[in-house]
Structure 1
Amino acid sequence: MRTERQWVIQEHSNGMAVREFLKQEARFSRQFFKKVKESGAVYLDGKQVRLHKSLETGGKLKVIFPEERRSARILPEDLPLSIIYEDEDFIVVNKQAGIAVSPSVQHPSGTIANGLAYYYDQHNISSAVHIVTRLDRDTSGLMVVSKHQYGHALLSEHTDLKRQYVALAEGMFSEESGRISAPIGRKRGSIIEREVQPEGRPAETDYRIIQTGKDRTLVELSLLTGRTHQIRVHMSHIGHPLFGDTLYGGKPSPWLTGQALHCCRVDFKHPFTSEFLTFSLPIPDNWQY
């Protein structure tokens, strides 16, 4: 089933051409607008129209999105998925630690994307898999996925999409809360590892202490930017690597595979309904703190 979206024309858009409305009011990207023009369809009050057609107040504009092609490497696989929310535009998944999000050379199958491709096929969703909030393989918690390219673009550019994490960090903190502002870039000679470097991209992470143990601290963290491995790099940078994060100086954990990092909350304003949505998860049961 192809995705469609409908708008009722408001007074301030009266006289605007369809093409201008889609670019300015509907915020179609240049790339998506081109795809709609080439292989989508546009209807005004039930009749298919060209993009130069003028709009009138109260008119109903409907766009049928072009069909999306999935990557050939994302093969459908019947995998268990913990879906905690779904509507016609978005899915929110509770991801388990140890599962990659998308296929790679190291993990060509068994990923969240493979499972979603199968789920889409079973539910007649003709779309590529659009990951809005990505998690590392060994990070658990909430992930937001869009069912179409348009929703992915709108939600990705939202500054009010907020993610909150909990982590177990090594050692004791001298401050109850703080902000880490340190630019992050790819470590020379590595395709995976990142590091704080002056020429890196700006990165900011807020932290707040929840509970202190004998040799580790339970920390709440909020991302102000979204760099690869940002929390892991920043915590290592200030001398508190995450428990189990051996890539960034953490001690191996006997009860964890990888780092103790969990996306516990996601908030965003739905770009189509304007509803504010909040999703939350408890701290994983197997954490020892």
Structure 2
Amino acid sequence: MEIKEHIILDTERNERLDKVITTLNAEWSRSQVQQWIKEGNVTVNNAPVKANYKCNENDKIVIQIPEPELLDVEPEQMDLDIYYEDADVLVVNKPKGMVVHPAPGHTQGTLVNGLMGHCKDLSGINGVLRPGIVHRIDMDTSGLLMVAKNDLAHESLVEQLVNKTVTRRYKALVHGVIPHDHGTIDAPLGRDPLERQRMAVVDNGKHAVTHFQVLDRFKQFTFVECVLETGRTHQIRVHMKYIGYPLVGDPKYGPKKPITDDGQALHAAVLGFNHPRTNEYLEFEAPLPEEFTDLMERLKK
């Protein structure tokens, strides 16, 4: 069982305990945290409390994170679009609509199921639910992902992500016509305090930087390339909305009535990294998928 500790800051005084804890990790939902508190897995100053406990400065919070529910993840034969593979790493082009790894209620048809059907060797650092997975992209985002086939490769690729030496360039269609040719969005991201299933720019969020360059302009839309300096949850989607140019088709951060039901127009086009064993720099580029180019042609008209 993993244990996390946190000392309440002055800025967190009088906040509800469950709200404070959900800001500590973007993957923790409010309901999940409330369940942990109810089950006695959270203490404040060595004593159990309720979810609505109002925090005091210097309170010591200890969170015992239960082991994840064990899922029966089965290998599946899939026609994976593999761009590169050797004994250490694999680069795959994930199609739009595919989930990266299994989760409760979603144990089939994921990229992990397909990877397990393709090869027996995947790193075990992320456990049985995410073997080989070093980084993720959203279900409705297409594009390139690097996969670790052993723990040595996994640790090297994660270190490169932390050190910001991995090249990640995305292509996106956004609402509105961006007047300047390029820019940088430097705005911290965390859970939206009003809607916990969304991310937002928040004062106490995690450092997040996105660079963008305009590739083409249409009458009401802009085609851009975004370069990630950090890799936060929904980073490009939230950052582009923040500056007033939400992604086309984005059901979570775009207009209430999206112009397409296929999800956000976002494609992880370029991926580059140093090989974990040889240190050779490798870079791959995946062309825009057909549904993306078709949408772009419709918007041009």
TM over 0.5: yes
The answer for the alignment partner of 2:168 in structure 1 is 163
* Gaps in structure 1 of 5+ consecutive residues: 1-70
* Gaps in structure 2 of 5+ consecutive residues: 1-69, 125-130, 297-301
The answer for the alignment partner of 2:151 in structure 1 is 149
Mapped to 2, the partners of 1:224 and 1:112 lie a distance apart of 25
Q: Which amino acid aligns with 2:151?
A: Q
Match of 2:187 among 178, 182, 186: 182
Deviation at 1:131? 1.1
**Correspondence 1:205 to 2:204:** no
Deviation at 1:286? 2.2
1:115-126 pair list within 5 angstroms: 115-121=114-120, 125=121
Q: Deviations over 1:192-245 (max 9, x none)?
A: 310100010010000000000111110000000010000000001111100000
**Correspondence 1:273 to 2:278:** yes
Deviation at 1:285? 2.2
Mapped to 2, the partners of 1:285 and 1:240 lie a distance apart of 23
The answer for the alignment partner of 1:286 in structure 2 is 291
Residue 152 of structure 1 aligns to a residue in which SS? helix
1:45-64 pair list within 5 angstroms: none
Change (3 A) 1:162 1:73: farther
**Correspondence 1:109 to 2:111:** no
Deviation at 1:249? 2.2
Q: Which amino acid aligns with 1:132?
A: V
Residue 203 of structure 2 aligns to a residue in which SS? coil
Contact 2:123–2:154, Cα closer than 8 Å, also in 1: no
**Correspondence 1:258 to 2:257:** no
Deviation at 1:72? 4.2
The answer for the alignment partner of 1:225 in structure 2 is 230
Contact 1:120–1:127, Cα closer than 8 Å, also in 2: no
Change (3 A) 1:190 1:150: farther
Deviation at 1:73? 3.7
Mapped to 2, the partners of 1:132 and 1:188 lie a distance apart of 28
**Correspondence 1:241 to 2:246:** yes
Mapped to 2, the partners of 1:164 and 1:106 lie a distance apart of 31
Residue 291 of structure 2 aligns to a residue in which SS? coil
**Correspondence 1:130 to 2:104:** no
Change (3 A) 1:189 1:74: farther
Q: Which amino acid aligns with 1:96?
A: P
1:93-108 pair list within 5 angstroms: 93-108=92-107
Determine what percentage of the aligned residue pairs are the same residue.
42
- Greater Cα radius of gyration, structure 1 or 2: 1
Q: Deviations over 1:151-171 (max 9, x none)?
A: 111111113111000000110
Contact 1:265–1:279, Cα closer than 8 Å, also in 2: yes
Contact 1:102–1:112, Cα closer than 8 Å, also in 2: yes
Question: Aligned residues, how many?
Answer: 215
Deviation at 1:104? 1.6
Contact 1:97–1:140, Cα closer than 8 Å, also in 2: yes
Mapped to 2, the partners of 1:157 and 1:79 lie a distance apart of 30
Residue 206 of structure 1 aligns to a residue in which SS? strand
Mapped to 2, the partners of 1:206 and 1:72 lie a distance apart of 38
Residue 114 of structure 1 aligns to a residue in which SS? helix
TM-score when normalising by structure 2? 0.68
Q: Deviations over 1:233-266 (max 9, x none)?
A: 0001111100000200245233x51100000001
Mapped to 2, the partners of 1:190 and 1:145 lie a distance apart of 32
Mapped to 1, the partners of 2:204 and 2:271 lie a distance apart of 30
Residue 221 of structure 1 aligns to a residue in which SS? strand
TM-score when normalising by structure 1? 0.71
Mapped to 2, the partners of 1:184 and 1:126 lie a distance apart of 31
Residue 231 of structure 1 aligns to a residue in which SS? helix
Q: Which amino acid aligns with 2:274?
A: K
Deviation at 1:77? 1.5
1:20-35 pair list within 5 angstroms: none
